[in-house]
Amino acid sequence: MKGLQAVGWLEGLSDQDIQWIERQGAYQSYQARETIFLQGEELTAYFFVLEGLVSTYHQNEEGKKWIASLFSRGDFFPHVGLMNQQHKYPACCEAIAASTLFVLPRGSMDDVFHKFPSIREHLTVFLTEKSQELISRFSDSVLESASHRLVSFLKKLSAKSGNQGEDGWCLISHDMTEQDMAEYIGVTPETISRILHRLYRESRARKVGRKQISVNLKRL
């Protein structure tokens, strides 16, 4: 895949508009596990995901990690700190899988907002959704079991990028290791492994391969 396309944040813009934005930034490819920016660093650019999977996360001094958000094709980040005066990245960011991003300098982002009001509208919508998502995940982490949270995550993945077959099973290519899922759900890798094993045994999911899982939407 090459160049910016009218997906995600750019939805609704004309080819000319896209090309204008394209000239303001540059493409950058990252290898799997490559750091994109660190928390507290000067916020010099915003990123638009063209291909791959990227995470923003927080990490404590012991090295424990918590993935705040996952971004894939069409997503734009960071959201936090976008409209305020703080020009520091709010979290660390790394590519989970090999990724291609469009990098837009911070100064150009202001121009883009000014030139394309529709992107501001998208921002409002995305911020609202992200806010609800975070609150939902937070309350789940307090009120629900790890199993429930992992199942919710799998459902979300299947809705977003799953390929359902006529047999009721939905194939998900998530590009994540179980370690990644653990960091997203907020549990240890051992717990993820055990929950998945239980889902397999109960025929609610099937292991297709590493980074691929098939889920039974009806029983999940």
Q: Contact positions toward DNA, by CB under 7 A?
A: 145-147, 149, 177-179, 186-194, 196-197, 207, 209-211
Instruction: Rank residues 2 and 210 by Cβ distance to DNA and give the closer one.
Output: 210
> What is the spatial distance between Cα 23 and Cα 55, in angstroms, rounded to a whole number?
26
Q: Which residues pair with 55 in a beta bridge?
A: 70, 94
88 φψ region: left (φ > 0), alpha (ψ -120 to 50), beta (else) = beta
**At closest approach, how far in Å is the CB of 130 from DNA?**
24
Within a 13 Å sphere around the CA of 3, how many CA atoms are in the beta-carbon half? 11
**At closest approach, how far in Å is the CB of 91 from DNA?**
20
Instruction: Rank residues 28 and 147 by Cβ distance to DNA and give the closer one.
Output: 147
Instruction: Rank residues 73 and 194 by Cβ distance to DNA and give the closer one.
Output: 194
**At closest approach, how far in Å is the CB of 98 from DNA?**
10
Give the E-state strand segments of the chain in sequence order: 26-30, 35-37, 45-51, 53-59, 65-72, 76-77, 92-95, 99-105, 163-164, 169-173, 205-209, 212-216
Instruction: Rank residues 10 and 185 by Cβ distance to DNA and give the closer one.
Output: 185
**At closest approach, how far in Å is the CB of 62 from DNA?**
8
The residue count for the chain: 220
